[in-house]
Amino acid sequence: MSAADEFAKCCASQRWFVDEGWVEKQVAVDILQFFAEAAGYLDELGQDEVQLLMAEAFAPIEALPSDYAATLVMQWELADPRDRWRWTGELPPVQKAAAIERPPYRTAQSTVDAFHFVMSLADPERLAAWLRNHSDDALVLLETLEAA
């Protein structure tokens, strides 16, 4: 690695400290000037080359366009068929809803137990009234009675 490359690498390190806000730019440049003198870069490269390398390291970074983020989002959404409609005027895609599968209705064991209790009372009118109040379960309960 050449002396110029080595010193440029040192300059880039100091630029990082400046960008992070840990060191002021003037302090970083003074440190680099002192380092160039102490390490012999100044004798090998000359003051003009040392200053040129420092200037290149601290040159302003090319700014992105002010609408860069919005343009990037637009490009992403245009590439995605689910979001393209936001920019093209198309209707949004219809999303299929997931079918909800309900388990088949089953008479609760407590209802079966209550039915057996009402049966044990041997009161036909009370049994008829109870079955009217449990119309969803009446057929299943009567089938269990026939099976027994």
pTM over 0.75: no
Rounded to whole angstroms, what are the CA distances from 47 to 38, 43, 54, 104, 134? 13, 8, 11, 88, 100
Task: List the chain domain ranges.
Answer: 3-57, 64-89, 109-147
Q: Which residues of the chain have pLDDT under 70?
A: 64-65, 147-148
